[in-house]
């Protein structure tokens, strides 16, 4: 669907339920600035949510570099959902840098966690999703219960499964030009960075138990919140029998681990582990990371907002004696109307999306307000691109919408990855569905000629601008192929061999005259029916003849409308079977 098709008010506005107007109102409410200026307190309205968060961070007067963190356990495919915290943290980091601050953005791989179950899907080094049958699945199955860093890479390329997963996320960040530092929990423990946090926890077991008992079951007088790695079998165990703070060691027994309805068997080994040879449980490890890394801000999904975050705040203040970072809870987005799910196969990766979209469009999706639920519908990516194009036009003063323009003026430089040097001129953009039409054509010169003929490329556009504009064609073509939509056809460069009876040939000639007169696609579509009837030709046969001439096939897109997008002289010649 084109921008005009989606237009509700005639100016290219996106559907109301996904309007950046909502973003502005939510930012106004979050900032508490609605009417604030009237009260003379000097608070500013923020059109971009990342500025609201930056205000909160600055209000704490943090030391520099300001640390922004995200994190994930490397349990399966590194999909777009895992990328949420990186890209949302990026916008806050860029706003703070724009204000003159030094910022460190880190992303922790919680890779000392145990592998609790086999993932159904994995992703290779190029981000392509594969099934377990395409890798050494036994490398995973034989290592249930072991830390991810102790499990071989099933692709045989990295030093561990965890390193493979972390490399995928780092590569995704690089693709979107996000300067994030990947941090391994395993390395933090090995380097002693968690020693003080571990000592703090184990030196006041009664106090820690009292805090944790508010948030989880099975916290009794025997519970010791430290999980050693068994020296015999390499699995994580949860049974600590004694603690020696002076030696910084614990005694343990390798017991079974319950994972839902399943049990990962321990080996029964009794041993001693140092603080480096184990880990804190998650409810302690997360706030422990805040202390170890000096975290000032962390975004997280709403699933953590009701569980891990409240306990993290309690632990931070009453166990570690620190203030938790500024939080930001974001709504999960859905994919094709359904929740993201690795097990159900409803996932998409960053490289998959970048085959279909420019990086700026993907950044734009995450620049919209994080507290509003959104759906990323692959079938309707044209709508997302249309909204991005309108957002871009607003930045260059071409849209009569005050809220959208305010949002664009602030967010656009970060969305295009050029906060220090935003574009001085609006890039040449082909409407996404028109780019999909051009994707039916293999000849690059013909593509450019059609784009110029339709007025989508200015006469004075530079070669660089033209090349950048036409780059969208391949992405739209990939979209058509992935979804099998109405643009998934190939226009024939040469005239296909086809014999038509006299009635059909005469009808094609009349249609050529109609097109030559300058009618648009909608008129051509209607005229095809009239022309078929006038020549006593079955309508289906007439359309089939048209499809044969242009696609060497018997079906295709809405033919009349499609022909209206093409160069008139070319269409007329083809209908007359001349070229």
- DSSP per residue over 214-260, as a string? TT-S---TT----EEBPTTT--B--EEEEEETTTTEEEEE---EEET
Tell whether omega for the bond before 298 is within 30 degrees of 0, i.e. cis: no
Domain termination site, one of 242, 274, 306: 274
For residue 512, the domain's CATH number is 1.10.10.350
The values of phi and psi at residue 144, to 5°, are -60, 135
Region 395-409: mean pLDDT is 95
The helix or strand, by DSSP H or E, that contains position 105, with its residue range, turns out to be strand 103-109
Domain with 449, as residue range(s), is 432-483
**Is residue 512 situated within a structural domain?**
yes
pLDDT tens, residue by residue, 370-390: 988 899 999 999 999 999 999
Instruction: Take residue 509 and report the two structure tokens written for it.
Output: 């000639």
Contact indicator for 48, 410 with CB cutoff of 8 Å: yes
Region 284-296: mean pLDDT is 98
Query: Is residue 21 very low, low, confident or very high in pLDDT (cuts 50, 70, 90)?
Result: very low
**Is residue 559 situated within a structural domain?**
yes
Is the per-residue pLDDT at 31 higher than 90? no
CA distance 334 to 417: 25
Q: What is the pLDDT of residue 19?
A: 46
Residue closest to 278 by CA, chosen among 316, 327, 221, 240: 240
Cα–Cα distances in Å, from 259 out to 7, 117, 547? 50, 8, 57
- How many structural domains compose the chain? 3
Query: Is residue 124 very low, low, confident or very high in pLDDT (cuts 50, 70, 90)?
Result: confident
Angle at which helix 282-293 crosses helix 205-212, to 10 degrees, equals: 110
CA distance 478 to 501: 37
**Exposure of 308 by Cβ count < 10 A (0-12 exposed, 13-18 middle, 19+ buried)?**
middle
Instruction: Take residue 276 and report the two structure tokens written for it.
Output: 């480096």
Instruction: Take residue 549 and report the two structure tokens written for it.
Output: 């001439």
**Is residue 146 situated within a structural domain?**
no
CA distance 437 to 314: 57
**Is residue 45 situated within a structural domain?**
no
Share of the chain above pLDDT 90, in %: 73
Domain termination site, one of 209, 239, 274: 274
Contact indicator for 430, 458 with CB cutoff of 8 Å: no
**Is residue 142 situated within a structural domain?**
no
pLDDT tens, residue by residue, 244-285: 999 999 999 999 999 888 899 999 999 999 999 999 999 999
Same domain, 538 and 568: yes
**Is residue 343 situated within a structural domain?**
no
Same domain, 477 and 510: no
The pTM of this model reads: 0.88
**Is residue 204 situated within a structural domain?**
no
pLDDT tens, residue by residue, 142-177: 899 999 999 999 888 899 999 999 999 999 999 999
Contact indicator for 475, 515 with CB cutoff of 8 Å: no
CA distance 24 to 16: 13
Lowest-pLDDT range of 126-130, 195-199, 347-351:
126-130
**Is residue 180 situated within a structural domain?**
no
Same domain, 557 and 526: yes
Instruction: Take residue 70 and report the two structure tokens written for it.
Output: 């995200």
């Amino acid at each position: 669907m084109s921008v005009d098709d989606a237009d509700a008010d005639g100016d290219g506005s996106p559907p109301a339920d996904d309007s950046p107007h909502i973003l502005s109102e939510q930012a106004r409410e979050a900032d508490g600035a609605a009417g604030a200026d009237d009260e003379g307190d000097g608070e500013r309205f923020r059109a971009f949510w990342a500025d609201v968060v930056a205000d909160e961070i600055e209000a704490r007067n943090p030391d520099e570099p300001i640390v922004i963190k995200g994190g994930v356990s490397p349990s399966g495919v590194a999909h777009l959902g895992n990328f949420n915290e990186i890209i949302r943290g990026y916008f806050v980091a860029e706003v703070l840098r724009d204000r003159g601050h030094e910022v460190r953005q880190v992303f922790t791989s919680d890779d000392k966690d145990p592998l609790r179950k086999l993932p159904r899907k994995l992703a290779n080094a190029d981000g392509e999703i594969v099934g377990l049958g395409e890798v050494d699945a036994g490398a995973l199955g034989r290592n249930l219960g072991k830390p991810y860093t102790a499990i071989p890479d099933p692709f045989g390329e990295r030093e561990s499964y965890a390193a493979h997963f972390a490399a995928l996320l780092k590569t995704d960040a690089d693709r979107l030009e996000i300067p994030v530092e990947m941090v391994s929990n395993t390395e933090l423990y090995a380097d002693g960075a968690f020693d003080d946090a571990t000592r703090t926890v184990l030196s006041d077991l009664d106090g820690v138990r009292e805090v944790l008992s508010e948030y989880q079951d099975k916290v009794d007088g025997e519970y010791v919140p430290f999980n050693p790695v068994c020296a015999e079998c390499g699995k994580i165990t949860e049974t600590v029998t004694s603690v020696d703070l002076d030696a910084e060691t614990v005694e343990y027994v390798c017991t079974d681990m319950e994972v839902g309805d399943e049990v990962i068997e321990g080996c029964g080994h009794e041993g001693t582990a140092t603080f480096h040879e184990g880990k804190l449980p998650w409810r302690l490890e997360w706030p422990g990371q805040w202390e170890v890394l000096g975290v000032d801000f962390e975004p997280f999904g709403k699933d953590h907002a009701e569980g891990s975050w409240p306990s993290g705040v309690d632990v931070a203040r009453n166990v570690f004696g620190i203030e938790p970072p500024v939080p930001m809870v974001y709504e999960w987005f859905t994919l094709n109307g359904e929740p993201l799910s690795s097990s159900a196969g409803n996932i998409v990766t960053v490289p998959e999306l970048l085959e279909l979209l420019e990086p700026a469009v993907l950044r734009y999706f995450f620049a919209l307000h994080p507290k509003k639920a959104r759906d990323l519908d692959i079938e309707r990516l044209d709508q997302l691109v249309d909204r991005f194009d309108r957002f871009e036009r607003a930045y260059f003063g071409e849209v009569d919408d005050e809220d959208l323009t305010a949002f664009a003026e602030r967010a656009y430089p970060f969305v295009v990855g050029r906060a220090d040097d935003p574009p001085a001129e609006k890039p040449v953009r082909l409407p996404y569905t028109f780019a999909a039409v051009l994707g039916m054509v293999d000849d690059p010169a013909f593509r450019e000629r059609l784009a110029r003929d339709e007025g989508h490329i200015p006469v004075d556009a530079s070669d660089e601008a033209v090349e950048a504009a036409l780059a969208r064609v391949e992405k739209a073509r990939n979209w058509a192929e992935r979804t099998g939509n109405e643009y998934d056809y190939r226009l024939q460069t040469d005239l296909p061999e086809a014999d038509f009876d006299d009635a059909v040939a005469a009808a094609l000639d009349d249609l050529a005259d109609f097109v030559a007169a300058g009618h648009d696609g909608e008129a051509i579509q209607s005229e095809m029916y009239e022309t078929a009837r006038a020549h006593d030709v079955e309508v289906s046969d007439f359309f089939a003849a048209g499809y044969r001439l242009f696609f060497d096939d018997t079906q295709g897109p809405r033919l009349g409308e499609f022909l209206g997008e093409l160069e008139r002289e070319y269409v007329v010649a083809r209908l007359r079977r001349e070229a």
